[in-house]
């Protein structure tokens, strides 16, 4: 995520092969069956004899990670609660099952360390791998590295100088918005493109991306307690 005037080092790498162990087997096990409620001429059954199509099975939502092992424990918990609820924010990211899966994988990657540029909030760099879960339909990418800058705009000492959307950088709402913004660069949309276009080096594009996420997640961000 790049704040206005703060460039984000965001390197888009080479598309690598899809990684999902046992995807084809799980897909076969959960292949939907088309049930047609109709009768041909001469069928002795009545309409009452034809069973209705079974209701769609809810997609499995991942369980939360152990936040104590994560770089942004409180922010992870806030975002996970948002994404696993039925709300406009989770729907923007593809629904609770898909959104939570991608977010969990991203959160596992995040590390906290000092970067050489204090203007950088989060840096995702290196090549990326695209993942597809044929059971849930989740499609997302992960970069080689994802780093939160311990001395960047999210640091408490710098918080009073910058805004993330409508929030001061030190607030839990701002920190959650940063993670949601980054997730938008990773999740694949229905048309096959990423929900948020790459914005490294483009402050205006980064701000537009933040506003887009905030527009979908406004109520959920406001509900986060300080």
- In a domain, residue 3? The reply is no
Average pLDDT, the chain: 78
Residues of the chain short of pLDDT 50, as ranges, are 4-47, 159-160
- In a domain, residue 8? The reply is no
**Model pLDDT, residue 161:** 65
> If you search the block for the tokens 């406001």, which residue do you land on?
222
Q: Up-side HSE of residue 15: CA atoms within 13 Å toward CB?
A: 7
4 vs 15: CA distance, rounded Å:
29
Tell me how many domains the chain contains: 1
The predicted model scores a pTM of 0.75
**Domain interval for residue 139:** 16-222
Residue 211 dihedral angles phi and psi, to the nearest 5°:
-65, -35
- In a domain, residue 79? The reply is yes
**Model pLDDT, residue 157:** 53
**Model pLDDT, residue 103:** 98
**Rounded to a whole number, what is the largest CA-CA distance in the chain?**
80
Nearest to 181 by CA among 136, 223, 216: 216
Nearest to 53 by CA among 66, 71, 35: 35
Please write the tens of the pLDDT for every residue from 66-116.
988 898 899 999 999 999 999 999 999 999 999 999 999 999 999 999 988
- In a domain, residue 167? The reply is yes
- In a domain, residue 2? The reply is no
- In a domain, residue 9? The reply is no
Residue 68 dihedral angles phi and psi, to the nearest 5°:
-65, -20
**Model pLDDT, residue 174:** 93
12 vs 193: CA distance, rounded Å:
13
- In a domain, residue 147? The reply is yes
**Model pLDDT, residue 162:** 78
- In a domain, residue 35? The reply is yes
> If you search the block for the tokens 């969990």, which residue do you land on?
104
> If you search the block for the tokens 């991608």, which residue do you land on?
102
Burial of 42 (0-12, 13-18, 19+ CB in 10 A): exposed
**Model pLDDT, residue 169:** 84
Nearest to 183 by CA among 86, 45, 90, 58: 90
């Amino acid at each position: 995520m790049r704040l206005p005037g703060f460039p984000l080092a965001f390197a888009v790498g080479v598309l690598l092969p899809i990684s999902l162990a046992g995807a084809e087997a799980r897909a076969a096990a959960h292949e939907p069956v088309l049930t047609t409620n109709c009768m041909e001429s001469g069928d002795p059954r009545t309409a009452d004899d034809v069973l209705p199509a079974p209701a769609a099975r809810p997609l499995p939502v991942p369980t939360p990670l152990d936040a104590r092992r994560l770089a942004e424990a409180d922010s992870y918990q806030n975002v996970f609660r948002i994404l696993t609820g039925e709300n406009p924010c989770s729907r923007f990211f593809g629904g609770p099952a898909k959104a939570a899966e991608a977010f969990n994988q991203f959160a596992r990657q995040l590390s906290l360390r000092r970067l050489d540029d204090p203007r950088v909030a989060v840096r995702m760099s290196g090549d990326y791998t695209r993942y597809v879960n044929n059971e849930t339909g989740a499609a997302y990418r992960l970069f080689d590295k994802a780093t939160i800058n311990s001395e960047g705009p999210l640091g408490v000492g710098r918080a009073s100088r910058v805004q993330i959307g409508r929030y001061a950088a030190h607030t839990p709402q701002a920190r959650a918005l940063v993670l949601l913004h980054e997730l938008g660069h990773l999740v694949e949309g229905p048309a096959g493109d990423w929900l948020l276009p790459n914005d490294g080096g483009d402050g205006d594009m980064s701000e537009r991306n933040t506003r887009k996420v905030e527009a979908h997640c406004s109520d959920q961000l406001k509900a986060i307690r300080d």
